[in-house]
Chain A
Amino acid sequence: MKNFYIFIAVLFIPWSFSVAKYDEFEDGDDIMEYDDNDFAEFEDVSEDVVTESPQRIITTEDDEEEATVELEGQDENQEDFDDTDAQEGDTESEPYDDEEFEGYEEKPDSSPSKNKDPITIVNVPAHLQNSWESYYMEILMVTGLLAYIMNYIIGKNKNNRLAHAWFNTHRELLESNFALVGDDGTNKEATSTGKLNQENEHIYNLWCSGRVCCEGMLIQLKFLKRQDLLNVLARMMRPASDQVQIKVTMNDEDMDTYVFAVGTRKALVRLQKEMQDLSEFCSDKPKSGAKYGLPDSLAILSEMGEVTEGMMDAKMIHFLTHYADKIESVQFSDQFSGPKLMQEEGQLTKLPETKKTLLFTFNVPGSGNTSPKDMESLLPLMSMVIYCIDKAKKFRLNREGKQKADKNRARVEENFLKLTHVQRQEAAQSRREEKKRAEKERIMNEEDPEKQRRLEEAALRREQKKLEKKQMKMKQIKVKAM
């Protein structure tokens, strides 16, 4: 409750500021009036005196009413002075002498019209402020904001509907294949939530596990950002489609060592640049899959020919040809570690951790204008995924293939060590220099001369020993070489 009150209080502060600003503007207008009145002061006085003078002219004729009328006139004047010159105090609210204003008796005719003018001028500015024209900027902005909010709500709901349409179609297949469907990691026990995990307004996750051969499967429904108006406008220039990304983590014993990918040429070129494992193990450019009967849009990246032969069986080719328009990329890798990490120079790193993974990226048909039916049409692709899981488990390289694969992996590791060797050497050297410097400092800081001498001698001895060791090593190497 306290937090709520604080929140309300905090909300009031800017609101009051905004209101205060309007007050200032109003005050500003009033100030303008005061400015005018500063100079018009004398006019007012003269006008008041002019009003006074006809009264006096009249009252002089009626001697009986003289006193009362004069009093009234003076009261009126005092009120006027209070209204217009409130800031200036009471100095001018005293009644004026008749002698000062003798000259103004000549203008009685113009006074009535002048009497009316000050009253009308005061009213006009109030009307001007209420017109719509002065607020066109605000109206425009608020309309834009309202449009944004409307788009947000519509987009959010559409993504939600698409996600649930997908899930309802796929639920049966998933539940028949996986023991745990839907988990958000918060429960202590592993129970199926049976629901999608909403990470964002446009990203939905689903974790399935509990099947032989695979550790688990993470499905990500990556929709377009329909809730963001800017994105919607950008998509009008550049059409894009929703994606479904499936990542299957395999158990170590259930997959042999190979790296293989198939997909659209564009996607494969991009992946080869970005992905650590594809760039290291698949050095050739993506090859056409026409040899296996694949459509021209698809290409293959493989570590070795044997893997391609093994992977491209009849059923796989059937899947790939039939759903070629929906497939963006399919990647099987035992050395999967994600995209290449940007490392700083001089930063010592170990080889990134690898996991045996199968990755699938599917494009939802409709390129942006998707409907729930389009989501449903992805169901056969899920069957393909399940088929691939089983296939990956069954596929084993023969002896030659295995040797090649092992050699490749050893080569990659060696390269990495070579790269970091220089860095490791530099690090070791800097450490040694640090130690020497620390020792020297200690020796310098020793006040006792005796101790100093002893430490220096110890350091000298250590250095001599090191030199001797080095010399011995060199001799040994020379002997071996001979």
Chain B
Amino acid sequence: PGPPSPPARCPCHPLPRYKPPATETNPALEDPTPDYMNLLGMVFSMCGLMLKLKWCAWIAVYCSFISFANSRSSEDTKQMMSSFM
């Protein structure tokens, strides 16, 4: 009883559409890595610039790469590019 038959679609009801999983309620739970890495990258780049430490600048470059790798596709590419610089 109850075979998985072809879908019985009721024409009167509209098909429920895709809704992105509720990230508005818990954005923090959804992996904060790219945001942290972005912040770290900026901090290190500032340090490197002000204190003239080359290794700081290199770590900043690494941080921005990691942030890019972990980022969500919905984020702005312009922001990404500016963080690289």
Task: Please report A residues at the B interface, Cβ cutoff 8 Å.
Answer: 7, 10-11, 14, 137, 141, 144-145, 148-149, 152, 176-180, 183-185, 190, 197-201, 205, 207, 209-212, 215-216, 218, 220, 225, 227-230, 249, 338-339, 341, 386-387, 390, 394
**Which chain B residues lie closer than 8 Å to A390 at the CB level?**
2, 4
Q: Are A207 and B18 in contact (CB under 8 A)?
A: yes
In the A-B complex, list the 6 residue pairs whose CB atoms are closest, starting with the nearest: A207-B18, A190-B15, A185-B18, A183-B18, A179-B7, A228-B69
**Which chain B residues lie closer than 8 Å to A225 at the CB level?**
69-70
Known: A137-B58, A210-B7. 6 other contacts (CB 8 A): A145-B62, A185-B17, A199-B72, A209-B17, A228-B69, A341-B25
**Which chain B residues lie closer than 8 Å to A227 at the CB level?**
69
Contact with A along B25-62 (1 / 0, CB 8 A): 11001000000000000000000000000110010011
> A145, A200, A341, A386 — which one has the most chain B CB atoms within 10 A of its CB?
A200
A88 to B24 alpha-carbon distance, docked (Å): 69
Residue of B nearest to A152 (CB): B69
Q: Are A144 and B73 in contact (CB under 8 A)?
A: no
Contact of A179 among B15, B18, B21, B73 (CB under 8 A): B15
The majority secondary structure among interface residues of chain A is mixed
Contact of B7 among A14, A178, A201, A215 (CB under 8 A): A178
B12: Cβ under 8 A from any A Cβ: no
Contact of A216 among B4, B16, B25, B74 (CB under 8 A): B16
Q: Are B21 and A218 in contact (CB under 8 A)?
A: yes
By size class, the interface of chain B is 20 to 34
B17 to nearest A CB, angstroms?
Answer: 6
> B16, B61, B66, B85 — which one has the most chain A CB atoms within 10 A of its CB?
B16
Q: Are B61 and A145 in contact (CB under 8 A)?
A: yes
**Which chain B residues lie closer than 8 Å to A209 at the CB level?**
15-17
A200 to B16 alpha-carbon distance, docked (Å): 24
A386 to B17 alpha-carbon distance, docked (Å): 20
**Which chain B residues lie closer than 8 Å to A341 at the CB level?**
25-26
**Which chain A residues lie closer than 8 Å to B69 at the CB level?**
148, 152, 201, 225, 227-229
Residue of B nearest to A189 (CB): B15
A198 to B15 alpha-carbon distance, docked (Å): 22
Residue of A nearest to B49 (CB): A17
Q: Are B73 and A199 in contact (CB under 8 A)?
A: yes
A201 to nearest B CB, angstroms?
Answer: 7
**Which chain A residues lie closer than 8 Å to B85 at the CB level?**
10-11, 14
Contact of A210 among B15, B70, B72 (CB under 8 A): B15
A404 to nearest B CB, angstroms?
Answer: 26
Contact with A along B11-23 (1 / 0, CB 8 A): 0001111111110
Q: Are A177 and B19 in contact (CB under 8 A)?
A: no
**Which chain A residues lie closer than 8 Å to B54 at the CB level?**
137
Q: Are A183 and B17 in contact (CB under 8 A)?
A: yes
Q: Say whether, besides A185-B20, A199-B72, A227-B69, A394 and B2 are in contact (CB < 8 Å).
A: yes
**Which chain B residues lie closer than 8 Å to A144 at the CB level?**
62
A326 to B79 alpha-carbon distance, docked (Å): 39
Q: Are A230 and B73 in contact (CB under 8 A)?
A: no
Residue of A nearest to B59 (CB): A141
**Which chain B residues lie closer than 8 Å to A216 at the CB level?**
16
Q: Are B66 and A338 in contact (CB under 8 A)?
A: no
**Which chain B residues lie closer than 8 Å to A387 at the CB level?**
4
**Which chain A residues lie closer than 8 Å to B16 at the CB level?**
209, 215-216, 249
**Which chain B residues lie closer than 8 Å to A183 at the CB level?**
17-18
**Which chain A residues lie closer than 8 Å to B4 at the CB level?**
176-177, 386-387, 390
Residue of A nearest to B67 (CB): A228
Q: Are B62 and A339 in contact (CB under 8 A)?
A: no
**Which chain A residues lie closer than 8 Å to B70 at the CB level?**
225, 228
A390 to B81 alpha-carbon distance, docked (Å): 49
Q: Are A339 and B26 in contact (CB under 8 A)?
A: yes
Q: Are A338 and B18 in contact (CB under 8 A)?
A: no
Q: Say whether, besides A215-B16, A338-B26, A339-B26, A141 and B58 are in contact (CB < 8 Å).
A: yes
**Which chain B residues lie closer than 8 Å to A184 at the CB level?**
18
A448 to B74 alpha-carbon distance, docked (Å): 62
Residue of B nearest to A180 (CB): B15
A322 to nearest B CB, angstroms?
Answer: 19
A228 to B33 alpha-carbon distance, docked (Å): 11
Q: Say whether, besides A11-B85, A228-B66, A341-B25, A176 and B6 are in contact (CB < 8 Å).
A: yes
A124 to nearest B CB, angstroms?
Answer: 26
Residue of B nearest to A186 (CB): B18
A204 to nearest B CB, angstroms?
Answer: 11
Contact of A145 among B7, B18, B65 (CB under 8 A): B65
**Which chain A residues lie closer than 8 Å to B22 at the CB level?**
338
Q: Are B73 and A212 in contact (CB under 8 A)?
A: no
Residue pairs across A and B with Cβ atoms less than 8 A apart, 20 shown, are A11-B85, A137-B58, A141-B58, A141-B61, A148-B65, A149-B65, A177-B4, A183-B18, A185-B17, A185-B18, A190-B14, A199-B74, A209-B15, A210-B7, A210-B15, A216-B16, A218-B18, A228-B69, A230-B66, A390-B4
A66 to B37 alpha-carbon distance, docked (Å): 77
A342 to nearest B CB, angstroms?
Answer: 9
**Which chain A residues lie closer than 8 Å to B17 at the CB level?**
183, 185, 190, 207, 209
